[in-house]
Each structure stands twice: as C-alpha cells, then as structure tokens.
Structure 1
C-alpha cells in the first residue's frame, strides 16, 4: 500500500523464515550472490523502486532497492524483499497421496510398468545399492524403503512412502546375490573407477589454481567465467536441510555438513565429494521455524497414522488372499 513502510509489510506478510530477524532486509549484495531472476530484477531497478512479483525457485518476491554503491570496483545493491511461497492446496496434497495409494494397489495386480504407463507416471530406476546404511541413489536417506527392498521378492511392489518432494512407490527389478562378482562384470567397474579417480585428481589440480582468488573473496561467477578451460561452474542452490539432496550435487554428506558449519558470507575450504570438488559460500541460513513445525505437526501425525493403517490393512489383505480358496465360476454366469 502507498505510504506504508516496506519493512513493516515484510514483517507482516513475508514467508521468508528470516523475516523475524531482518524485516526482509538483505543488506548489500553483488552479482552472483542471488539467484538469477532476483539478481536481474534488483540490479535493473532504480533506487527506491519496488519491482515484482519476481518468480524464483523459492516463490514470488517483491523487491525494494534501498541503495546502490560501488565497492572495490564492484556494483553492490542493498535491497529488501517480501517472499510469498507457492503452497499446494490441502485438497491437492490429499489427491496426490490418494493417487499414489491407488497406483500402489493397482500396480500389484497389473504390473508396475504397465500401471505407470496407464496413469502417466514417470518411472526412474536406481543403480544397484548395498544393504548397509540408509542411502538410496536418487531418493536419499530412507530407512523404511531400504528395509522393504531388502526383504522383498523380485517384482514385489511396495506401499507408498513419503519423501521430501512427494510420494514414491518402489519395486525390486534386480537382486544381485551376495558374494564375489564374475571378472567380466567387475572389470568395467574397476576401469571406470580408475578413470574417475584420475579425472578427480585432474579436477582438484585445476580448481586449486583458483584457490587464492576464492579465499580472497572474489566473485564466484567471475572466477568461473575467467577459466580458460571452462571447467569451473558456479551455481546458487535453493535452501536444503542436513539430510536432503541438493540440486546439481545429489546427496553428499560432505557437502551438506560443510555448508552447515559456515556462517553467512563465509567461504569453505575445498570440499571433496564423490562427484568432484567444491568451494562453498554461504549466502543465507534460516533458523529452525518452530511455529511452522507446530502448524504441520498434526498433518504429519495424521499422515504417519494413515501410512501405518495402510500397511496393516495391506498385510492383512495379502494374508487373507494367500489363505483363501478361490474358485472362478464366472463361466456359469456368462461373465
């Protein structure tokens, strides 16, 4: 509203978890510190101007540019924002969950792949993974799914499982017996591993050429763009938790653990992961939102109860079918 203080409006309406502490103020930032759509809008706006809504992976932003200045030859913008997240309606969440349950039940009868085609669902296959630990490629840490797949028969279909971004249903497509693998299957794996180790050694050697510039606080985007071999890449991640996968990185305990030790603006030492080497600069860290957890607590409790009831019902139903003596008399009724 005209004449109202932008920061007071942010405190009242913004869904950014940090708004309670900063009233939407982001301080000064330079190019490369924010996600691209936000950055472009802020740097193209005039001082005092409010622009938006600007869509990013976090939601929609209204941005007010408070000031602009040059520091060490770099243009910096001071801005505040109001974030409005996109929330799926409860009816939509319930619809997705119900569809997942229907798929799980029908897939047990019609076949996993066929039912996925019928319902237009995407099927993704993981690489082989061991029983040890809770990590599953493409899913992340999930002890319940890991327990199911190592107790299931080939082709067996699970009930639904809740994951960070929705629901999954899994089936076992391959079981590799415990023991030593034949040489013909091990050889390409070892060859690829040796190649990977050599590539990682070269990658480390290359990125360390830029370590002084990184530690001096030079803009990550400019460092990547100045690489004559174009091997360096810079990106800004969305918010992630300690146990979640990171877009473009995957699940990396080393990456996540390092990120959570940093303070805003701090740059990490070189981090080694299975996918390569990274320098991290923490842009923002949000505190635990106890009010949001309290609001979701009952919904989480209800979902867990429903999952437990569904598991008990499915177990009872499968046991009933196994014990039943069924005679098909449909021919007598011309069915």
Structure 2
C-alpha cells in the first residue's frame, strides 16, 4: 500500500513534466528550437493560414520567463528578453509546421500502439521516478507494470495515454526523417583519428598577398560580367534612419551618496560586533560569495583588482577596511588570515559588495522624462521638443531590420518600431538595458541593387584577390612539379625564397598554431604517410605544400573502447543536420506571416 501511495503522489509531478517533455520532443528530439496595425486583430502570426493568437504566444512567453526565473532566481531583461521572445515564437511556428506535415502524411496512432508503448517503453521521466525504481535506483519494470494494472490509478494513467497519443505521431515523423541515418565503423574510425591522431608537419606557404601588384588589372568587360553574374549578392536591403533621445540609466550623485551611507552603517555594525558573514549574506551584491558569508578564500595580490588588493594586503588579520571603490562597486573587506605559499603572500578575506546603481527614484525620474518627451513629440516633433528641453538628440546610420542599430545596439523593439513606422512617426518609450529611448523615423531607403559604379571598387578588389590566389596556386604547383622521389621541402625552399615552417603537434579536429582553422590542411595532413609531400592545398589566404614527418600510431584497442560512443555521437550529429536541412526546406516552402511588429 505504501508503494502505491508513493506512486500516486508521484503522478502529478510526472504528468506536469510529461507536458513539458511533449513540447521538447516536438522541438528537439529529432535534431535540435496592444494592437497597432491592420493585420488580423489578436493574431501574432499565420502559418499556412493557421493562426497563432497573441494570447497563445504571450502565455508561452510568460511560462518561459517563469521557468527561467525559477531556474536562475533572477528576472531576465534586455537582450535576453528578445532572445526568449524569438525562441518562443520560433517554437510555435515549428509546432504548426510539424503538425501540418503530420496531418498531410496522415500519421496517426492507434490505441494498440499507445498501449504497447505504455506497457513496454515508458517515457524516461517515468523510468527516473523513484516510485518505479528498486533499492539500487534501477527502473523496476514489474513495479511499473503493477502500477499500470492498478485500477485506482486508471484516471491518472489516462493523462499519460493522452500524452502518448499526442507525442507518438511526432515520434513517427522523427523516425521517418532519421530513417536514412547510418553511421558505420569507418565513420567512427575517421572521427577517432581526427580527435586522437597527433601530427607534426613541415610546410611551405604561398601567401596570396605576396603577389599583390603582380596580378593584371581587371578589364571593364570582366568587371561588368562579374557584376551581372553576382547582382543578387549586391542587393541592399531596405534601411531606416532614426533620430532618438536616450535617457541613460546612470547612478546620480545622490545614488552614490546613498551607497556610501549604507556602507558606513555596515562598517559601524561590523565594528559593533555584528557578524560579518551574516551581513554579507543579507546585503552583499556579489552573489558568488554572499551565500558563503562573503568568503573569497585565499588569493594572491594579482588575483584581485588593484584597489581591492592594496587594501586587503595592507590590513592586518582581523581588520575590517573600507569603503574600497573598484569598477565593481564599493567594498567592505574583512581580512580573515594571511599565509606564505612558495615565498608569496596570500590573504584570506571576506567582503560585502554594494553596487553603485541608479535608484528607483532615479529610474522613475528618467522614465517620467521619457514619457513626457514621447507624448509631447507626437504633438510636434522630436527635434523641436528635444531642443526646448535641452536634450541631446542623436541620429543613427542607416540600418536593416535584422541588424545592429548604430549607436543603439541589437534592439529588436527599436527595429520593429522603425520598420512599421512612417516618416515622422514618434515611438512610445522603448525600454532598453541602457535606459529609456524615444525615437522618430527620419529616412527610408528601399531595397535596391546599387549601380555598377557604386560597387566597382569592391568588385575590383574581389577579382584581384582571386587573381592573387590563382598566382599562389600556380607557384605552389610549379614547386611541386620540381620535386622528385624522396625530395624534401627544405631542399627546394631556398630556390623559391621561402622558409619551411614546422608546426607544433596538432590533431585534425582542432585549430593549428600558425595556420588556424584550415580543414583542408588538416585533412590532407591526416591522409599523408611519413615523408609524403602533398599536392598544393588551398587555404583561406593562399596555398600550402605539406610534408608529414611525425604521426602517432592508431590505437586499435582505445578505438574499440570508444567506438560505440563515437557512433552514438555521430548519429546525434547527423540527425541534427538532417532535421535542420529538412525543417529549413519545410519552412522555406511554407507561407508564414509574422505580425510581431504590430504588437511588440
């Protein structure tokens, strides 16, 4: 009876997690993640005609914020809010698209399939539930199936059945997408070699930049032909320009004075006998040490910023010193101990950190000023009101809808205002990490292909770069053709006025010192035998001739021990790639309308 009661207590938690797991299954298991406009009211997006309501989006958005708040203990803000918004929006789009595919393919689940899955293959959350585990922590199938047969749990198991009925069609779709996934022993062997075989090579580098001035000037016909062939590459997206006023969130003199007054009070409390660790736990804004009573452990002088170290190392054991000002804020420091390690002094200290930040009163005053500016500017214009109020007005450089806004940063809400507004429109107050912003749309530049003369210099640079790379290739090939059997790079390097470079030990899966991340270089080196010299190898900046002179042996025993793990990792990677390619194609062919500009 006690076991069954424990199972019943577990069911509510199981069912809640299953709901979350269902969402995660849809998004990740196969590879991975007030109305202003004239759009359909209450609709934030359409996917092949299927509407996603603002209410549905906002519910999912708030749930995600709540989950992250519970995970981190802090509210997220600024750019992180934009990331969450994008992730939730994309998740809803993906759910709709996958459901469309499932409906089109008529992927359904029968009661027998659900029953068999429930009986033989319970979800991981159930396998990991203590109520269904034995004394050693292993899943107990008999105990689990006994719970399935308990009629008193029928109503609660029905929710699990509902979960499987919803989830299994997505699992079937995932299985179909992944059906062609095949990782062989040879794939695992190559992966092992990339990560474990260590090499050293000699190489000659034919730097394309060394041929500058030796290439011929591109002719007009060549320039025009390149322009015509690559005209799509020159398309300039629609751009917008904003005038704006930013009320920056900066601590005032009054805010700083309040922090120093609080630090003085803490100093007096500490000297009066109040426990330093207790105060640090309550007041310190260094979350990393506050939970340990402000304890920083032992540290060397150079481990801390100079003002902090100077104060701590100058004090005696037991002293409480402060306030000490650093770029992090204001510190109160208690020196707990000192010691010598290898002839170098170390200090053990605790501290209380108070950050100098804008107070609520400062924030409120800035927000009120921004609200007044926004409302007044809508009756007039931003420049006029800003000048009357002696506020500094700035102007952005032209920016695209998906790019960085010069002077402002990556701020989607600002971008969305800019790309839904008409010239002369003034925004509401836009809340940024840095403060409160009011903007007015100043200019619109429509998408266009620039004239040839506007991109001529970039085309000439590209053609010259290609010509230099070709000259580097020819030079490398000419040297290679002179090499005979048993030749070495050193023997011919002087004749072409190049030095032979020897690499440090490297593996093919990592960046190579002096060379960088050059996949062709690493791959060719891995394929060479001792003493072999490669054909010319193209790099990002020129061509290489590579001679292998050291390579570790393949460890068959170690490979066999890692093989199944490697195959598993490669399978996941391949499934990720396959799902991404498949989903990208599905999404590109879908009719998706994004109305977020009308809401957010």
TM-score (norm 2): 0.29
More helix by share: 2
Larger Rg: 2
Q: Which has the higher contact order (CA 8 A, sep 6+)?
A: 2
TM-score (norm 1): 0.48
